[in-house]
Amino acid sequence: KAGVTQTPRYLIKTRGQQVTLSCSPISGHRSVSWYQQTPGQGLQFLFEYFSETQRNKGNFPGRFSGRQFSNSRSEMNVSTLELGDSALYLCASSAGAGTGELFFGEGSRLTVL
C-alpha cells in the first residue's frame, strides 16, 4: 500500500511569490491534514479537509489556503510569501475517524529568499 506522497520535495521561492504544494493520501483515506514545521514554532496545524470540505482550521493568516479534490488529493497554497514561511510542510492522511492516528508524508521543504 503506497504511503502519503508529497510534491515537490524541495522548492525555493522569493518573497511575494506564491506556492502550491500537493499531497496524495493513502488509498481509501478521506482526511488530509497539513502541518507547518519550523525550528522555532515546532509543528503547527494548518487545516484539515475531509470529503472535499474544510473540517478544522488552525491559526494561520488567510494567505494559507487549501482544497481537496474528489479523489482525496489535496493542495495547499501560500500567497504573497514571506521569509517566515520557510518551513517543512507536512501532509498527513487518515481514515477520518478522529482517532488521531495520522500517516505523514516526507514533507515539502520550502525556502523563501
Partner 1 sequence: GNSVTQMEGPVTLSEEAFLTINCTYTATGYPSLFWYVQYPGEGLQLLLKATKADDKGSNKGFEATYRKETTSFHLEKGSVQVSDSAVYFCALTPIYNQGGKLIFGQGTELSVKP
Contact residues for partner 1, defined by CB under 8 A: 4, 31-33, 42-45, 48, 50, 55-56, 58, 90, 92-94, 96-107
Closest to partner 1 by CB, 58 or 75: 58
Judged by CB, which is closer to partner 1: 85, or 89?
89
Nearest approach in angstroms of CB 70 to partner 1 is 18
Q: How far is the CB of 16 from partner 1 (least distance, A)?
A: 29
Cα gap 109→53, rounded to integer Å: 26
Beta bridge partners of 33: 48, 92
Cβ closest to partner 1, residue 15 vs residue 52: 52
Residues 6+ apart with CB under 8 A from 103: 3, 4, 25, 26, 29, 92, 93, 94
Cα torsion at 31, 35, 57, 96 (round to 10°)? 20
Of residues 59 and 70, the one with the C-beta less far from partner 1: 59
Residue type, 73: R
Nearest distance in Å: CB 66, partner 1: 12
